[in-house]
Amino acid sequence: MRCTPLSRWLQVKPDGEEFMKRLQTEGSKVKVEFLISSYDIPEAVRGSYNKEKYRFVIEFKYIGDEPTKAEPQDNYVTFVIGKNSSRLYRIEIGVKALRVEKVELRMKIKDKGKKTLNNLIQKPINRLRQDNYRLTQKALSEIEDELYSPLL
């Protein structure tokens, strides 16, 4: 298996417009819009394989930076989120723990990544960041073939 320690950042532009919420007060011409902050929309994503830890790592890049903390999800997956914002910065998937052959590895990691992101959206670490989690999911789906290329 050819794995690169650090792959290049892949630019993403998930459309945040579908996450805007518009409310109109009944009987009034006042409109209220709730907009996703540009700080919550990932600018880029990359995938890499950490040979020492036997983990495939998906990283998200945002405007600004902050300290992070690990949030283990199960035996295979750990989310790394912003301590203050709860933005999703990394998904770490334990390859060795999945116990798969090289041929199956890419599909298994892809499936595990999708499943855990769906779980995060259904049961968010921080409910106020649910749209951020949806945007990261959308960003991944737009470039998933290139993202998982370090596993070829």
Confidence of residue 70 (pLDDT cuts 50, 70, 90): very high
Q: What pLDDT score does 83 carry?
A: 94
Q: Say if residue 45's pLDDT is above 50.
A: yes
Residues 104-120 have a mean pLDDT of: 79
Specify if 4 maps to a domain: no
Place of tokens 């770490």: 92
Domain span including residue 38:
10-112
Specify if 78 maps to a domain: yes
Specify if 124 maps to a domain: no
Specify if 126 maps to a domain: no
Specify if 121 maps to a domain: no
Alpha-carbon span 60 to 10, nearest angstrom:
10
State the average pLDDT for the chain: 78
pTM of the prediction? 0.70
> Which has more pLDDT, 150 or 50?
50
Residues 47-52 have a mean pLDDT of: 84
Task: For residue 86, give the 3-state DSSP assignment.
Answer: coil
Domain tally for the chain? 1
Specify if 117 maps to a domain: no
Q: What pLDDT score does 49 carry?
A: 84
